Amino acid sequence: MKYFHEKIEAKWQAYWAQNQTFKAQEPNVQNPLPKYYVLDMFPYPSGAGLHVGHPLGYIASDIVARYKRHKGFNVLHPQGYDSFGLPAEQYAIQTGQHPEKTTRENIARYREQLDKIGFSFDWSREVRTSNPDYYKHTQWIFIQLFESWYNKTTDKAESIRTLMQEFEKNGNAQVHAVCDDNITSFTAAEWNAFSSEQQQKILLQYRLTYLAETEVNWCAALGTVLANDEIVNGVSERGGHQVVRKKMTQWSMRISAYAERLLQGLNGIDWSESIKESQRNWIGKSVGATVKFQVSGSKFQVEVFTTRPDTIFGVKFMTLAPEHELVSQITTTEQKAAVEAYVEATAKRSERERMADVKTISGVFTGAYAEHPFTKEPIPVWIGDYVLAGYGTGAVMAVPCGDERDYAFANFFKGTHGMPEIKNIFNQDISEAAYGEKSGFELVNSDFLNGLDYKNGTKKAIEALEKIGAGNAKVNYRLRDAVFSRQRYWGEPFPVYYVNGLPQMIAKKHLPIVLPEVEKYLPTEDGQPPLGNATIWAWDIEKAGVVSCELIDNVNVFPLELNTMPGWAGSSWYWMRYMDAQNENEFASEDALKYWESVDLYIGGSEHATGHLLYSRFWNKFLKDSGYAPTEEPFKKLINQGMILGMSAFVYRSEDSKTLYSKGLIQGKIVHPIHVDVACINDITNELDIEKFKLHPLYTDYKDAEFVLENGKYIVGREVEKMSKSKYNVVSPDDICDEYGADTLRLYEMFLGPLEQSKPWNTAGITGVSGFLKKLWRLYFDDNGSVIVNDEPTADMYKSLHKTIKKVTEDIENFSFNTSVSQFMICVNELQQLKCNHRAILEPLAVLVSPYAPHIAEELWSALGHEGSISAVAFPKCEEKYLVESEKEYPVSFNGKMRFTIKLPLDLTAAQIEEIVMADERTQAQLQGRTPNKVIIVPGKIINLVG
């Protein structure tokens, strides 16, 4: 009876689907099973489908999910699609096809591929962020954020009504809130006298989601704002278009309110230290002081944040971000042209590019001077692109003697525009470099700070600044409020309409506000977002619905928000929707949230180390404050899987493209490597299929080229690179499943190496795993059918099985899947040598293998005479009695040198061991009639004869 993976895998995939084998049980109050929630970062369904690198994390999470079911847990292992996104919109612009259509088709392709690999997903809970029945809840969460403020006193978000009540009773003097800067104070009487519109404008300064003019990354070619992680080397990741910084009125999320909680929360979750450090760096907590510098001859003040107030007497110039709002107001007439040119040039560079470029020194003098708060000496004010508008206050007090960048800047512009000489305030040498340490110095040339160290100097400087009203102690964070508007069509519509320019929220009962149909997906001719092309896109309060824009002058009809939400909106809460995905009235019931709580294991790529994880943690904490989320953190344990890299292939063309040289013949020749589609080569021999290459549409230019062969073959060059369509090194999991089977693919991806590490794909290596499954099959079947017997196994058979149970259990618990595959291979080889076909061994072995190779395990279980799925069978337990060694192979040494080994029972005493060893003919041969001076025996360890 042969192993036909095609029939077996199709059979069991159909069985799982028909019986909903992996559907999680609903919470049962009377008899609650222990729960385990394992989640993958859900995919964006691109048109390219999956390559073999994509399933790596899914296979690992599936192994854990299946293992936990075997261990008696109610497992929630869902899957869905992050289905809003810029690629679908760009495709719609190019082809005119609605993004919903292409997204639906891409999802169908993904589902087909995922099913083929045999994942135990609970598909009854599938979510798609672009479905109105999903994003109506995203819209509702947005409204909750709008209706909330952050109370610093209680350290949590609260209803905006509590803030209004405080204003009505006491004004805002005693309010400790995370809010806009430069809030005007008012009394209760003044608040109560304000018009409704005035009150709404004030509340916007406190809400957790708010409208504000902010610096954004604007891509004119794509017609939208881009997030920092959508920009690579100063251009858009999609299409390589120019991106500039510009100010726009945008919706923003006040994530900065949660900075400290986001930071502290990292201490209680099981994430890798590298991911935690990425989050800490992004949050960027700094302890220091704000200092105010009066701009000479004006009403303006420049406020800076510094972590080194002790260096206040070393300030020799100031640098503002080119986007700083004061730049245009303080620049002198003489410097205006130079400043404007610099500002324009800087707008074309992304923030990441500016942060990464530590070598280039550039800047322009504004012509203005500020006044030192203590000495009153004039300090030149410059602009420089190394200062970012969104970090701190967008201005720095430059202390060249204590900061390398300031030191380089001062030396570069030395002698121009009044750039003063560097002043040393440390009793250390700065002739070659700045002194940036916080220890090992005393302050000099620093007036009342002379003789102090960093700690005491900082304390005294802050006291002095507070005394004269020029500064105060402050904790600062790098984390900035997140821009939440996108000028796109294919995204969640905002549940917002405008009355007299002020935003109003649409009631929950009218959600979702569904995306309208538009004729084109580009911005309008007057620069409005694509939703401006909709003919029906206005809100009728009286009819409580979306109506024709032509009615907009009607007293009851108002314009809707034309921007859409960013891609991270739907992915910032999706794990909660899985808990109760069919609930029409709320995003999840209280019972479901209480039962599932949070994700026990979250697996995904490290590219989400900051953005997605920070936004998700922020929304979770907000929903916790609001009484919905049961836990402070959404993901208990996080694993970032490594990448599976592609093995690219190359041919080598001559300069005139008329000759292609085999890899071994390029030495000494001028050749140019060209990526070859790996479908044109034999992965095992690295031989090019020349005829297939000539017929390939990418290589028609070479159909008449001369192929210079070695030993009658054209051997391609190979190189490990990222798996990518552009490098033609993509391997489809469909091809592997068709040829070798899904179980082989699953085992091989785990076998490649530790989950967290990147590793190259090599199809040639898959044959070994395929051979292992055939060996496993032969333990249960021969050509005539089942060979299972009910005889009692031998001790060695039990030992091999229980050694494997112990190893596989430990490996899964420690997420060390590659070593489990090795152990399976060892076990099967041992059982094969022992001629084991014993039911008592092979039944538990099938269960052991099941999480890794579920299809073959199901078939073996069925062949053993069992009904139903193996997935609910208890996982085997290791019995240590089978692992206890009864014998020990002792090394026998003479004067410390091992001469031979002897196998003896472990229960012998030292005297019995000595008697047996002394009688052994090999001992007599070594002693040659001598009597040893000493015989050292440690039972179970060593035998050594001395003298």
- pLDDT tens per residue across span 338-368: 999 999 998 888 777 787 787 889 999 999 9
- Alpha-carbon distance of 495 to 33, in angstroms, equals 39
pLDDT at 335 over 80: yes
| Residues forming beta bridges with residue 317, ordered by sequence position | 398
Q: How is residue 532 annotated by DSSP?
A: G
> Which DSSP string do the residues of 584-633 spell out, in sequence order?
SSSSS-HHHHHHH-SEEEEEE-GGGTTHHHHHHHHHHHHHHHTT--SSS-
| Residues forming beta bridges with residue 637, ordered by sequence position | 270, 601
The mean pLDDT of the chain is 93
What pLDDT score was predicted for residue 416? Answer: 84
- Alpha-carbon distance of 766 to 757, in angstroms, equals 19
pLDDT at 227 over 80: no
pLDDT at 634 over 70: yes
pLDDT at 732 over 90: yes
What pLDDT score was predicted for residue 197? Answer: 96
Tell me the Ramachandran region of residue 407: left when phi exceeds 0, alpha when psi lies from -120 to 50, beta otherwise: alpha
Q: What confidence category does residue 141 fall into, taking pLDDT thresholds of 50, 70 and 90?
A: very high
pLDDT at 873 over 80: yes
Calculate mean pLDDT across residues 120-135.
97
Helices (H), 432-514: 454-467
- Measure the CA dihedral 424/426/428/429, to 10°: -10
pLDDT at 32 over 70: yes
pLDDT at 474 over 90: yes
pTM, two decimal places: 0.87
What pLDDT score was predicted for residue 30? Answer: 64
Calculate mean pLDDT across residues 322-344.
94
pLDDT at 688 over 80: yes
Neighbouring CB atoms inside 10 A of 147's CB total 17
Calculate mean pLDDT across residues 706-723.
95
Q: What confidence category does residue 390 fall into, taking pLDDT thresholds of 50, 70 and 90?
A: confident
For 749-792, the pLDDT digits (tens) are 999 999 999 999 988 889 999 999 999 999 999 989 999 999 99
